[in-house]
Amino acid sequence: MEMYQVRYFLSVARTLNFTRAAEECDVAQPSLSRAIKQLEAELGGELFRRERPQAILTELGHKMLPILTRCYESARNARAVAVAVRKGEAGALTLALSPTVGLALFLPRLNELRRLFDGLAIAIRRASASEAVESVKSGSAELALAAGNEAQAPSLERHPLFSEGFHLMCNRMHKLANRASVSAEDMGQERFVLPRHAEHCEQLSGWLREAKVPLESCHEAYSDADMEELVASGIGVAIAPVSLPIRNGLVAMPIRGFDLRRSVFLLGAAGRPRSAPATMLMNMLRATNWPLAATN
């Protein structure tokens, strides 16, 4: 399989017309048609039904479209990164992270990036999920990692990285600390630390109300670090995403009957040229097999 064949296939899939695709690819139509035929022979089936003047994707064509799109994008990105490495280009990379997205999850990939691009300067900006989205749109950040569903716009690329549930965090000496799991009834008399900074705070508050937890007696925190500090001191308990690292002095356990989940997305500006480091990071994050702890 050659990349020019993949490019021709993607152009026909986009235009649904062999003539327009040939014009778009700046190649004679017989050459484009021959390349598509060769690709079909390699893949063992027709990719298009030729219904003049249209070309209709077959079932095989539909299944191959996302695979060959990723293949072509990866090849283009690899060439761009190789050129940047040869030229010694590094520069700076700015990432926007929403408040409850843990940087520790992404540090291994950032370290890989730093090894590839010697001298790369990385800037991490914390912002609300909506602010992270706006920073990508405005260009003040090349990529964003955000929890929640704020980012749904034609101007954005939005790639889901992982979905996760929540668990109860408490002090190691707390009366619930030795339980295999807890229920709403177990937590009914507890004082909670509400994460006011979190995208999921309203949903969490609604669940606590249904569980008859008096919210007027809740403590409040405006960062994950402060929430964990309060819980570690024994002042209360908290419900946190599974991916939040558990600091010393804390334990975490599943909550029976608690179905709140959230997704973490990688965001970039659609159609806007990216630096080689941003391109490489996006590819690495999308290809990562996230730890089971972050998908349970």
Residue 75: give its domain's CATH number.
Answer: 1.10.10.10
Asked whether residue 44 falls in the same domain as residue 23, the answer is yes
284 and 153 in a common domain: yes
What is the rounded average pLDDT of the residues 239-264?
A: 91
Does residue 249 sit in the same domain as residue 175?
A: yes
| Cβ atoms of residues 100 and 204 within 8 Å | no
What's the mean pLDDT in 215-234?
A: 93
- Other CB atoms within a 10 A radius of the CB of residue 216 amount to 4
Q: Let me know whether 62 and 178 are in one domain.
A: no
Residues 181 and 243 in one domain: yes
Query: Is there a single domain that holds both residue 238 and residue 273?
Result: no
What pLDDT does 225 receive?
Answer: 93
Q: What is the CATH number of the domain that holds 212?
A: 3.40.190.10
Q: CB neighbours of 110 closer than 8 A, spacing ≥ 6? A: 122, 281
Identify the domain boundary among 50, 85, 120. Answer: 85
pLDDT mean over 224-232: 95
Model confidence at 51, in pLDDT bands (50, 70, 90)? confident
pTM of the model: 0.68
The alpha carbon of residue 242 and the mean position of all alpha carbons in its chain are separated, in whole angstroms, by 16
CA 11 vs CA 1, 36, 137, 162: distances in Å: 16, 11, 27, 30
Instruction: Check residue 196 and give its pLDDT.
Output: 94
Q: How many domains does the chain have?
A: 3
Is residue 259 scored above 70 in pLDDT? yes
Q: pLDDT category, 87, cuts 50, 70, 90?
A: low
pLDDT score for 260: 87
Of 62-66, 83-87, 109-113, 173-177, which range is least confident? 83-87
Q: What percent of the chain has pLDDT over 70?
A: 91
Domain range enclosing 31: 3-85
Q: What percent of the chain has pLDDT over 90?
A: 41
Output the average pLDDT for the chain. Answer: 86
Residue 199 has pLDDT above 80, yes or no: yes
pLDDT at 294: 45
